[in-house]
Each structure stands twice: as C-alpha cells, then as structure tokens.
A and B are shown apart, each in its own frame.
Chain A
Amino acid sequence: MLGSYWESVAVFTGINCLMGISLYVPMMAGLISLGQGGFMAIGAYVCALLTRADVPFALALAAGGCAAAFAGVIVGMPALRIRGIYVMILTLGFGEIVRVFFATFEPTGGASGMGGIRPLTELWHVVVATGAAVLLLWRIRHIRFGRAMIAVHEDDVAAEAMGINLTRTKLLSFALGSLMAGIAGGFYAHQALFIDANQFDFMRSAVTFLYVILGGAGNPFGPIVGAATVTLLPEMLRVVQDWRMTVFGTILVAMAVWRPDGLLPALRARGA
C-alpha cells in the first residue's frame, strides 16, 4: 500500500498518537506526567521479553500494559495530594529511575539494549488501538468515569460532595494512561526491533508532553494532531537539513508565546 518507509512512519506516528492520548487521560483529572517514557519502557521490555518466550503478541501487549499500569498506580499514590508542578517533577524522576534501571539491568541487556525482537507490529494494529483510544476520548463525557475525572480536575470539593472518590478517580486515570503508554511501548518494541534505555529517556516524555500541549490540551483530538505534527515535522523540515532541531526549538518557543492553547481550540461542552 504505502511504501515501506512511509508505512513505518505511519506506524510510529500512530504509536506517538497513542502516547499523546496516554498523557491526555491523566491530564483530564489534573495529573500532568513528564514520565510517560518510563511507562512506555516498562511496556516495551515486558512485551519483548514475553514474545521472546513465544507468548502471543496480543497477550504480551496486554501484559506489558498491565505492568505499566501497575507502575502507574505506584507512582500515582504520592501524586494524589500535591500540586501540578510537583507531580511533573515526581513523574520526571520516575522516568529517569526507569531509564537507569533498564540501563543497568543485565537480564534485559543493560546498557547494550535488547535486540532481535520479532517484527510483529502491523499498521492495522496501531490504527485499531489508536482508533479505540480516540473513541474513548471522544465519548469520555458520556461515561461516569469521564465526568468524574473532569469534575475532580475542575473542583474536587464539589466532586467529593457528589460522592466521587478522589483517590480512586485520580489513581485510575493515571493507571489508564500508563496502560496506554505501556501498550504503545509494546508496539514500539516490535516495530523498532531493538530497544535500549535511552530510547525512553526524558526526551521521550517531554516530546509526549509536547504532543498534547501543541495539539491543544482542551480538545480530544489535540493529542492526535500534536503527535502527527511533531512526528512529521522533522520529515517536512528535511529541507533545512542540519538546522532541523534549531528550527523545531524555535517553533516551540513561538507556539508557547503566541498560541499557548495549542493548535486546536478547547471544545465546548455538548449535550448528553
């Protein structure tokens, strides 16, 4: 269909969209993570280890996602009663801890990384997964959990007075986001065929953050637009060759100053 280069680009774009959504979910409950790379790493390594042991891909993906979700609950707990910026530093630290862990953990290759991963990821897998995630976001206010997240973010005193368990809602949203990042990691491992700790470093988490902010943090399609734009931008910037990163950095500053709400506007509430 597409040439194999562009098919690969499409797969990575889809994976990035999934990562963007994985951050968007906890952000809806007011939890901003700069550590999604860590959850992605956990998902990637767990999934790769399992497929190496001939576990079916779908099962391995699910297991990687669950491992990441479990980590999400653990990281989420200290994040419950503290301010947004602090959660960012906490998750940033978590991401680094994961990176250091995988860089020194010999059974998964340590600093040399893990290779020989089977190429199991196909474009349709990623399309379906991303599509499901987008559907979730699109319809989020129509489900009890979605309204609860929004309420908790906006006014937790009122939310609690309406019977919403703040702890459970926040932890669940964080775990859901980590689950998605873990699954994205599993897809990534079986597309890149070689993974090492440095591919899931702070830059990965920071770029995931960018997907959401640049796309528009108030819009469910924001992470998709942001991920697609940021992933494809370096391709489009090939013309400026060596100056790609410089131009990209400048664009970021310009966006933050002139369009801090991101590319897509915040959606107004729609009726039930």
Chain B
Amino acid sequence: MSALLSVVGVSRRFGGYLALNDISCGVAAGHVHALIGPNGAGKTTLFNILSGTLRATSGRIAFDGHDYTGQRPDHVLKMGIARNFQHVRLIRGLSIVENVMVGCHAWIDRGIVGNAAALFGLSSGERAAAEKARELLEFVGVAAKRHVEPPELTLADQRRVEIARALASRPRLLLLDEPAAGMNPAEVNELRSLIQRIRDREITILLVEHHVRLIMEIADNITVLSAGSIITTGPPSVIQRDPAVIAAYLGKSDEPAFGA
C-alpha cells in the first residue's frame, strides 16, 4: 500500500528547544494509524504541522504525492485533510447542525448567485449541505439535538459533533487529536465503533491518543514517539512487546501500563 501521507525529515525547533528531530514516517491509505508516546514526546507538535497550524523548521510533508509543506490550514482542508481539536472548538453562535454545515464550506456554492439564492431558500448547494449535516449527525449519534447550541451538549457529544464537522468537508484523511480524552469506558466503546465506521467509509485516520486499550483495539499501525524522535513503527501486536517502547513509558506513573 502506498503512503497517503508521508513525512520526510521533519524537525521543529522552538527557540533552543528541539521538539521534533528528523521525523520520517508514512500513513497508508485506508489505515487507522495511531501516534503515541509519553507527554512531551512531540505528538501534538507533529499533529499541528500535519494540519498546517504550525510550520516545520525543516523537512517536507506530502499528501497523495503532493508536497504541502508550509501550507495554511484552510488550504490543507481543501486538499482533503480534516482535523478535530483536543479542546473542542465549536462555534457558539451557531446551532449544532449549522456548525457541521460550516464543515461543508469548502465545497458548497461560493459565488454571489449561490449565496443570494440561499437567502430565499433556493440554493441546491445549501440544501445538499443541510442534508449532509443531518446525515453526519446521525452517523455520529447526535441527530436528536441538532438545533441546540454547543454549550448545551455533553463533552462527549460535542466531540462527536466536531468529528461530524470534520467529516462534512469530505476528507480523505482525518486527523484526530485525543478524541477519547475525558471519556468514560462506555463512551470510548462508542468512539471505537465510530472510528471503525469512518474507516469503513474509506477515510484514512491518523490519531494521537493516550488511551492505550483503544489504540490496541483499533489501530492498524502505530508510530511511537519519544522526546522528539520515532522509537519504532509497527502493528499493535509488535509494539506491545517492544522493550524500547515499554522503556519509554516506564517511570511515568501517570501512564497506563502496557499489556494491562
């Protein structure tokens, strides 16, 4: 399988601090690829570089063969890479369904005529977006509350809405930043099933996560990061037993123990 996303020699400095050191890896199309590592390993930094929020100090990133190093986030989205945010960023002045429709921004009518038609309810693009939003909200399981504003939902539901919003842009690659954070076991199970259903729609997923059990159950491939460098990459069965990986996590008492 060819790499849908490829990272070559990426480094990132913050002043004198080297957060990422010559990272090279790839995400295969159709995979669920996890990025794990202890706190401070550089996962979030790499994630933000891939989504265009941050620029690499050196190195190149490419999507489907096209180099997109240094592109702005809105351009990255239009290429087909969508993301969520660890601390949910929904728009408070809009209802849930309108939030998801914002995700459709990149592909609905951009012209004056289209927008003007929408004023009178005559835009087919607008209707398509509304329909897509409704469908996605059902897909993630929040359909019943679609006319409500974000603050009224639980955190888990807000997370789902954000994922629906990201999916609304018709991405080929979905970047998920700690989607399971703050969730109870039941919610994590629902998340796992959601991720599987997303993969079934032929969307590749790269997720940064701390929740080890979820990773082991869902990932096809795992890249382990520690102190800015990649320790190893491989399927869950291999990673679980890798002594270097276990060593990287040992001594950090807040991390769940491997194999547990």
Contact = CB atoms under 8 A, between A and B. Distances in A.
A142 B95 contact: no
Contacts of A144: 104-105, 108-110, 114-115, 118, 125-126, 129
B102 A135 contact: no
Interface stretch (B17-25, B82-90, B205-213, B249-257): B82-90
A147 interface: yes
Contacts of A159: 91, 102
Contact of B78 (A147, A163, A271, A272): A163
Chain B contact-residue range equals 35 or more
B105 A147 contact: yes
A174 B120 CA distance: 23
A136 interface: yes
B97 interface: yes
A161 B78 CA distance: 10
A162 B53 contact: no
Contacts of B90: 158
Interface in B134-160: 146-147, 149
B66 interface: no
A141 B96 CA distance: 12
A90 B102 CA distance: 30
B22 to A, nearest CB: 27
A270 B148 CA distance: 8
Nearest to B84: A161
A166 B77 CA distance: 13
Contacts of A155: 89, 91
B93 A136 contact: no
Interface in B213-228: none
Interface in A222-272: 268-272
Interface in A129-153: 135-136, 139, 141-145, 147-148, 150-151, 153
Interface string A76-92: 00000000000000000
A268 B93 CA distance: 7
B85 A163 contact: no
Given A268-B149, A272-B101, A161 B83 contact: yes
B95 A272 contact: yes
A136 B165 CA distance: 25
Contact of A161 (B53, B146, B149): B53
A192 interface: no
A147 B108 contact: no
Contact of B98 (A145, A160, A165, A269): A269
A164 B77 CA distance: 9
B105 A162 contact: yes
Nearest to A157: B89
Interface in B15-62: 51, 53
B97 A272 contact: yes
Interface residues of A, number: 30
A154 interface: yes
Contacts of A154: 91-93
A145 B90 CA distance: 17
A160 B72 contact: yes
B133 interface: yes
A59 to B, nearest CB: 18
Contact of B147 (A151, A165, A271): A271
A259 B85 CA distance: 36
A147 B77 contact: no
A151 B91 contact: yes
A142 B126 contact: yes
A49 B114 CA distance: 33
B101 A147 contact: yes
Contacts of A162: 74, 77, 82, 102-103, 105-106, 165-166, 169
Nearest to B134: A272
A141 B103 CA distance: 14
A161 B123 CA distance: 25
A151 B94 contact: yes
B121 interface: yes
B78 A141 contact: no
Contacts of A148: 102, 105
A150 B91 contact: yes
Most chain A beta-carbon contacts within 10 A, residue among B53, B72, B91, B133? B91
Contacts of B105: 144, 147-148, 162-164
A270 B95 contact: yes
B247 interface: no
Shortest Cβ-Cβ A-B pairs, 5 listed:
A271-B147, A163-B106, A163-B77, A158-B89, A269-B95
7 contacts: A139-B119, A144-B109, A147-B101, A148-B105, A158-B89, A162-B77, A272-B101
Given A269-B95, A272-B133, 14 more contacts: A135-B119, A136-B119, A143-B115, A150-B91, A154-B93, A157-B85, A157-B89, A160-B74, A161-B83, A161-B89, A162-B165, A164-B74, A269-B147, A269-B149
